């Protein structure tokens, strides 16, 4: 998981755009909405299951020799701007210019290791922790990108509403999740293309 991002850094990549499918925790979110991620909760990371666990470049001579032309971050990396503020604002501006800003929100993403969907009890916990969306990807890639000094913009497509009531007969339908993704694919592609054309060239 770490290697592709670090290779991108070595190839000169400065900005990483990420999209994912997520469940909506915030009750204001509807299936088909987008969430521009402004921060995250890394639940696997709380249990030391982080992609950054292991020897850091400055602690390992072999890694230093491999990446001698590209210094990565020190061991303890700061994440307050992991999801770049300027890129988030650019994404918001483009959504307004193209008249789909009513589908766009900013929020906090909860990273669940998967491969199961979250239980109603887990969803209620995430709601109390002020998480807006939950998914099984993205955070590991973001951590590596930030560690490499790559700026990140990450956008979640809300594919289903997470279930909060264990007594409810409604369940998450994976086929509907995929159908929502297909429905919004062209819009997301257009959005990313417009973002890329507005990135500085230096």
Q: For the segment 74-114, what is each residue's pLDDT rounded down to a tens digit?
A: 777 789 999 999 999 999 999 999 999 999 999 999 999 88
Report, as an integer, the average pLDDT of 36-50.
91
Do the domain assignments include residue 40?
yes
Question: Does the predicted model carry a pTM greater than 0.75?
Answer: yes
Do the domain assignments include residue 22?
yes
Which of 134, 156, 128, 115 lies closest to 17, judged by CA?
156
CATH number of the domain that residue 121 is part of? 3.40.50.1580
Percent of the chain with pLDDT over 70: 89
Q: What is the pLDDT of residues 60-76, one digit of tens each?
A: 545 554 554 455 667 77
Report, as an integer, the average pLDDT of 24-35.
97
> Highest mean pLDDT: which of 40-49, 123-132, 170-179?
123-132
Do the domain assignments include residue 2?
no
Do the domain assignments include residue 174?
yes
Do the domain assignments include residue 140?
yes
Distance CA 77, CA 201 (A): 26
Do the domain assignments include residue 10?
no
Q: Give 191's contacts (C-beta < 8 A, 6+ positions apart).
A: 91, 94, 95, 98, 155
Residue 145: CB atoms within 10 Å: 23
Do the domain assignments include residue 6?
no
The whole domain housing 116 covers 15-53+79-197
Do the domain assignments include residue 26?
yes
Number of domains in the chain: 1
């Amino acid at each position: 998981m770490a290697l592709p991002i670090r290779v991108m850094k070595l190839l000169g990549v400065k900005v990483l755009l990420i999209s994912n499918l997520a469940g909506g925790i915030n009750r204001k979110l509807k299936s088909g909405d987008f969430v521009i991620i402004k921060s995250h909760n890394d639940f696997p990371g709380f249990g030391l299951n982080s992609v950054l666990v292991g020897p850091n470049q400055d602690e390992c001579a072999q890694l230093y020799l491999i990446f001698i032309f590209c210094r990565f971050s020190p061991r303890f990396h700061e994440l307050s701007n992991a999801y770049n503020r300027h890129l988030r604002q650019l994404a918001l501006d483009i959504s307004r210019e193209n008249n789909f800003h009513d589908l766009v929100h900013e929020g906090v993403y909860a990273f669940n290791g998967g491969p199961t969907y979250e239980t109603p009890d887990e969803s209620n916990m995430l709601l109390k922790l002020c998480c807006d969306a939950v998914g099984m990807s993205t955070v590991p890639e973001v951590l590596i990108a930030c560690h490499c000094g790559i700026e990140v913009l990450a956008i979640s497509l809300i594919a289903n509403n997470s279930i909060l009531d264990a007594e409810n007969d409604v369940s998450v339908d994976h086929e509907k999740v995929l159908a929502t993704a297909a429905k919004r694919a062209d819009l997301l592609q257009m959005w990313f293309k417009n973002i890329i054309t507005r990135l500085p060239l230096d």
